[in-house]
Amino acid sequence: MTTKPSILKDLPADLDRERLPKHVAVIMDGNGRWAKRQGLPRIVGHRRGVDALKDLLRCCRDWGIEALTAYAFSTENWGRPLEEVDFLMTLFERVLRQELREMMEEDVKIKFVGNLDSLPKTLRAEIDRSVEATQNNSGIQFSVATNYGGRQEILQACRSIAAMVQDGKLQPDQIDEGLFEKHLYTAGICDPDLLIRTSGEMRISNFLLWQVAYAEIYITETMWPDFDRQAFHVALRDYQQRQRRFGKV
């Protein structure tokens, strides 16, 4: 892994260890604009975006955050030019292959959320390999949303629950939030406490629609490739100043 020098290796002193989010989710946006600003092709932004993600994962681990979920490719991103889509799929595959050893050393447990069936076969094979290899790791839970759409996720949960009802294994009145969550891709992972979106866009873009019901949302103008430990520190400081009421007073 290429890492920046070990700046902010430890949790910054102004953050309260007891009040860290357990689960951070990130919409990694702005790779293309980051590249364009430097007069570079968009794909360079995606490459730099991978470096930013690797350092954030390591930072979460260093600072004691239990789970990180990153939005890597949405169900809508297939609408991009073919060359960009191809580049991204190849990039994901290569990164997975290259990083598996280090994920093992760092005790990362990787999971993929999304409809994986329509991904290229070779990428699918790397995904299966990394998930299987890391399944007994007990460090940070790292979820990568790939070909992920929140609506699509909810629909596939509905389909599988409807099939259980049809087979007589379940009564409609047994369908509650707990059961529903078990049919989402994110089953077994707690909801995100903090949702970060880079590049200033104020939207959810079909990410974790069910799960972000009570997430604190933090939006920064910083483009994803520039989102470093200092930027994450600022986001966490902001988060710790929030009062989470969950509808109460």
Question: Any catalytic annotation for residue 29?
Answer: yes
Measured distance between the N- and C-terminal CA atoms of the chain, rounded to whole angstroms:
46
- DSSP character string of 163-224: HHHHTTS--GGG--HHHHHHTSTTTTSPPPSEEEE-TT----TTSSTTTTTTPEEEE-SS-G
How far is C-alpha 136 from the geometric centre of its chain's CA atoms?
20
Which residue of 152, 156, 205, 240 would you call a contact of ligand IPE, by CB under 6 A? 205
Applying the rule CB under 6 A, the residues between 29 and 58 that interact with ligand IPE are 29-33
C-beta closer to Mg ion: residue 58 or 197: 197
Question: Any catalytic annotation for residue 77?
Answer: yes
Q: Which of 51, 62, 77, 137 is catalytic?
A: 77
29 belongs to the binding site for Mg ion (CB under 5 A): yes
Is-contact 237 15, C-beta < 8 A?
yes
Which residue of 20, 24, 25, 27 would you call a contact of ligand IPE, by CB under 6 A? 27
21 belongs to the binding site for ligand IPE (CB under 6 A): no
**In the Cβ-directed half-sphere of 189, how many Cα atoms lie within 13 Å?**
27
Segment contacting Mg ion by CB under 5 A, of 2-10, 28-36, 40-48, 118-126: 28-36
The tokens for 210 are 């069910």
Instruction: State the residues that interact with ligand IPE by CB under 6 A.
Output: 27-33, 71-74, 77, 88, 199, 201, 203, 205
Instruction: State the residues that interact with Mg ion by CB under 5 A.
Output: 29
Question: Annotated catalytic sites, by residue?
Answer: 29, 77
